[in-house]
Structures are given as C-alpha cells and as structure tokens.
Amino acid sequence: MSRISVRGFAVASATAVTAVGSVVGVASGSTAQNNDAEATAADATLLADIPTGQQAQVQTASLTQQANVQAIAADASAKKDAEEAARRAAAQTAIDKKEAAEKAAKAAEEAKEREEAETKASRSSTSFAVQSSYTIAQIQAMAQQMVPSGQYQCFSNIVDHESSWNYKAVNPSSGAYGLFQALPAGKYASAGADWQTNPATQIKWGLNYMNERYGSPCDAWAFWQANHWY
C-alpha cells in the first residue's frame, strides 16, 4: 500500500477516532471542541506511520470505543428515566395510601355515628322515669340521650326558637303545641300516647320529623335559618 493510500486510510480512521473523542467530550461536558481539527491532523499523521496490518485493529478499537460511549450514555439515560418513574410511582402510592386511610377513617366515623343514632333512637318515653313535671335541664338531658351528639346543637337551636324548651308551650294564635310547636298538636301521638305529659315522647317525635323531612337535625336547622320555620 502506498504512502498516499496509507494517509487516506489514516485520515478516515482518524476522523472516526476524532468523532469518538467528540462524543466522549460531549458526554463528559467538555467544551474543548476547538482542538478537534488539530487532533484530527495529529491522529492522521500517527496512523499513517502504523503498519498496514494494524490499521484495521486501530479502526476497530475506535469503533468499539464509540459504541461503548454510546452504550454508557444510553444506560445513564435509562437509569434516569427509571429513577423518575420510581419517584412518581412512590408519590402516587403515598397519595393512594393517604386517600385510603381518610376513607377508612370516614367510614369508621360514619359507622360510629349510625350506631349511636340507632342506640339513642331506640329510647322511648319508657326509658325515663315518669314525673309530674320537668325542668328545662331535665328535658335537655333527655334530648342529649336521644339525639346523636353531632346533631344535638342543631336540634337544641330549633327547640330554643320554637318553645324555649317548654314542653307545654301553646301558640295562642295557631294552637301549635309543645317543644316543636307541632300543628296540629295531635301529631305527637305517633310517638306515644303520653305526648302531652312526657317531653321524651315529644323529643322522639321531633327527632323523627327532622330526620324524615330534612335528613337530620342540622339539615332542619339550616332550613330554619333560611326560612325561620321548618
């Protein structure tokens, strides 16, 4: 092979080597691209002096190096993508666990409230000792034992406005009667025959009325606030 042919082959091989060098430079963040032309000329001169039988080995080595650099870059990119995917998966898992815990807590609270409501709703006028008269404090104590704790304040607000907890209150104009100013007064009878003398019977009727008509005492209170009746 002539000297000219050797140099031509050397230039081609040196170009490949230089390309590999450029790839390595980019992968490592190097900015020394101004030396590429000088490196190419130097590499070509050195390669021209290499015996013909070894030039193929040099070219093969340079291509192998280039492939290795590309493989390293690909592995780094794949690792970064995998780490990002893992981070997102972990974040989503944390969100899912939090939502599941909140739902479980809410379900447990609702179950507790239903159990309390069922227990208190089972109380009737026979659950309390019969008296000839009752104080406001005694009537309120009855209500606290019959109305779910989370609904009691709303229940109490309505009774405050309707009768001031007077189970014998009568509206002189309409004849509305009792704690909830039922009209006609005989509506209380659906909760017990002793509705005129037993505030517990009136409380049971009033709680049932609020639950059936509005869904709960607090829903009834919201309606009352908007309309001043319920």
**By the 8 A CB rule, do 37 and 14 touch?**
no
The per-residue pLDDT for 37 is 54
The three-state secondary structure class of 182 is strand
The per-residue pLDDT for 139 is 97
The per-residue pLDDT for 32 is 46
Q: Residue 109 above 80 pLDDT? A: no
The per-residue pLDDT for 50 is 58
The per-residue pLDDT for 115 is 65
Using one digit for the tens of pLDDT, what is the confidence trace for 31-45?
Answer: 445 555 555 555 555
**By the 8 A CB rule, do 146 and 204 touch?**
yes
- Rg for the chain, CA atoms, rounded: 45
The per-residue pLDDT for 189 is 96
Name 46's Cβ contacts closer than 8 Å, sequence gap at least 6: 10, 14
Q: How confident is the model at residue 123 (pLDDT cuts 50, 70, 90)?
A: low
Q: In the structure encoding, which two tokens stand for residue 190, read together?
A: 């659906």
The per-residue pLDDT for 149 is 92
Cross-strand partners of 177: 170, 182
Cross-strand partners of 170: 177
Closest CA to 1 of 63, 50, 61, 57: 50
Q: What is the dihedral of CA 44, 48, 52, 57, to 10 degrees?
A: -30
Alpha helical stretches, state H, 122-151: 136-146
Dist CA 118 CA 108 (whole Å): 15
The per-residue pLDDT for 6 is 41
Using one digit for the tens of pLDDT, what is the confidence trace for 157-202?
Answer: 999 999 999 999 999 999 999 999 999 999 999 999 999 999 999 9
Using one digit for the tens of pLDDT, what is the confidence trace for 1-52?
Answer: 444 444 444 444 444 444 434 434 443 444 445 555 555 555 555 555 556 6
- Per-residue pLDDT, averaged over 216-230, amounts to 96
Q: What is the mean pLDDT of the chain?
A: 78
Dist CA 72 CA 110 (whole Å): 57
Dist CA 212 CA 58 (whole Å): 92
Percent of the chain having pLDDT more than 70? Answer: 67
Using one digit for the tens of pLDDT, what is the confidence trace for 53-108?
Answer: 676 677 777 788 888 888 888 888 888 888 888 888 888 888 888 887 787 777 76
Q: Helices 152-163 & 217-227, crossing angle to 10 degrees?
A: 40
The per-residue pLDDT for 15 is 47
The per-residue pLDDT for 86 is 86
CA angle 171, 173, 175 (to 5 degrees): 50
Domain edges within the chain: 3-94, 127-227
The per-residue pLDDT for 128 is 84
- For residue 73, the tally of other CB atoms under 10 A from its CB is 14
Q: Which fold has domain 127-227?
A: Lysozyme (1.10.530)
